Amino acid sequence: MQNLRLLIIEDDIDQRQLMGEMLEDHFGAGVVSGAGTGRDALKLDLSNFDLILADYNLPDCNGLELLESLQAVCRTPIIMVTGENVGHIAAQSINKGATDYIVKSGDYLQTIALVVEKNLIVARIKRENDLLRQELEAALFEVRSKNTQLESSLQLLEEMAATDPLTKLHNRRYFSQVIDQLFAEADRYDKDLSCVMIDLDGYKQLNDGYGHQVGDQLLQMAGKAISANMRKMDVAARYGGDEFVLLLPVADTEQATAVAQRISSEFAQSTARFLNRSSGVTMSIGISSMRTIRPAHADELIASADAALYTAKERGRNCISHAETVTTCMARP
């Protein structure tokens, strides 16, 4: 064993010398160091030793006290050596952390090297196992971190795939995925579901007159006004161009109308300030609800809201039209 270092803590000089000779005969010259008391041993850098043989009875302490002191400063394997062949002492020593126990009787000097070698092998295997365990824990931690990063990346990709980059609302693709689910839930539990279609009045002329950058900002302002009036359960999407669609679960026509009026009012006020005009950009809005029109499928709910939207435009814009043909006109801001 290359660069092996052993420490014998033994107050009997003759015993220490005999033990040292037997160990150096087996492991090679110069591998053994000695100390006569626990105090002397604790002055050494014990982490430099591969194994310690400690006598149970020392002038300044007993074996159990020494074990505790040694383990407080190093993790080096310790073999307890004593002339007392008493079982409970051996058990106490092992329970306190000694790796083995040698009794000074008979031909113990002939076997001491083998006992030391066995404990060195066990200690090496334990170190290797500890290292493997640490490497495994590090690898598992890295895998978990990578999985967390991957999940976050996938979630971000899913959000990006479902989001309109300009308005930060959902896109039409996502809306198409959720409407069937919301429709089925409302139908199953006999709950209302309102659909709100919104179109910006005169957007094309504004976009052409002020430029596309201003047109994009108007769309963003519409997205903010819509988001500010949405509940967590609601779904809002940019349906295409300057058209938006909202799904309001468990909301009837009256509640959907109130939401639409708040959105229209906030948008008109913010765009008036933005364009530095006395009046802002208005919205035409169509609303349909399941309990009002009793649609057979989700597409019919959307189609009825879309039809109501066109009715609102035909009636002069800046108003809310319901699928049952009731129209609510809104005062200009």
**For 67-96, how does the pLDDT look when each residue is reduced to its tens digit (9 = 90+)?**
999 999 998 999 999 877 677 888 888 888
Return the SS3 of 49.
Answer: coil
Name the amino acid, one letter, at 29.
A
pLDDT of residue 106: 83
Percent of the chain with pLDDT over 70: 96
Distance CA 245, CA 298 (A): 13
pLDDT of residue 63: 85
pLDDT of residue 2: 67
Q: What's the chain's average pLDDT?
A: 91
Distance CA 127, CA 135 (A): 12
Cβ contacts of 238 within 8 Å, gap of 6 or more? 164, 166, 167, 169, 170, 171, 172, 219, 223, 244
Distance CA 251, CA 301 (A): 14
pLDDT top residue among 140 and 327: 140
Q: How far is CA 265 from the centre of its chain?
A: 41
pLDDT of residue 326: 41
pLDDT of residue 93: 87
Distance CA 278, CA 256 (A): 28
pLDDT of residue 332: 45
- Mean local confidence (pLDDT), 279-293: 95
The radius of gyration of the chain's CA atoms, rounded to the nearest angstrom, is 42
For the chain, first and last CA: distance in Å? 92
pLDDT band of 134, cuts 50, 70, 90: very high
Distance CA 78, CA 54 (A): 7
Q: Is 299 a catalytic residue?
A: no
pLDDT of residue 133: 93
User: Could you give the count of Cα atoms lying within 13 Å of 129 in the half-sphere of its Cβ?
Assistant: 6
Burial code of 222-244, b = ≥16 C-beta within 10 A, e = fewer? bbbbbeebeeeebbbbbbeebbb
- Mean local confidence (pLDDT), 53-76: 91
Angle between helices 203-210 and 212-228 in degrees, nearest 10? 130
Q: Which range is least confidently modeled, 102-111, 113-122, 209-218, 222-231?
A: 102-111
Q: Could you say which DSSP state residue 37 is in? A: S
- Mean local confidence (pLDDT), 160-185: 91
CA 172 vs CA 129, 175, 239, 275, 306: distances in Å: 56, 5, 5, 28, 14
The pLDDT of residue 235 is above 90: yes
pLDDT of residue 267: 97
Return the SS3 of 286.
Answer: strand
CA dihedral 48, 52, 56, 59 (to 10 degrees): -40
User: Could you give the count of Cα atoms lying within 13 Å of 45 in the half-sphere of its Cβ?
Assistant: 3
pLDDT top residue among 254 and 155: 254
- Which entry of 107, 242, 252, 306 is annotated as an active-site residue? 242
pLDDT of residue 325: 46
pLDDT band of 40, cuts 50, 70, 90: very high
- Mean local confidence (pLDDT), 250-273: 96
Distance CA 247, CA 183 (A): 10
> Could you tell me if 319 and 329 are in contact, meaning their C-beta atoms sit under 8 angstroms apart?
yes
- Mean local confidence (pLDDT), 91-107: 88
Q: Which domains does the chain have, with CATH numbers?
A: 6-132 (3.40.50.2300), 172-329 (3.30.70.270)
Tokens 């679960």 sit at which residue?
249
pLDDT of residue 333: 46
Tokens 């005969």 sit at which residue?
25
pLDDT, tens digit (0-9, with 9 covering 90-100), for 308-332: 999 999 999 999 999 974 444 554 4
pLDDT of residue 1: 59
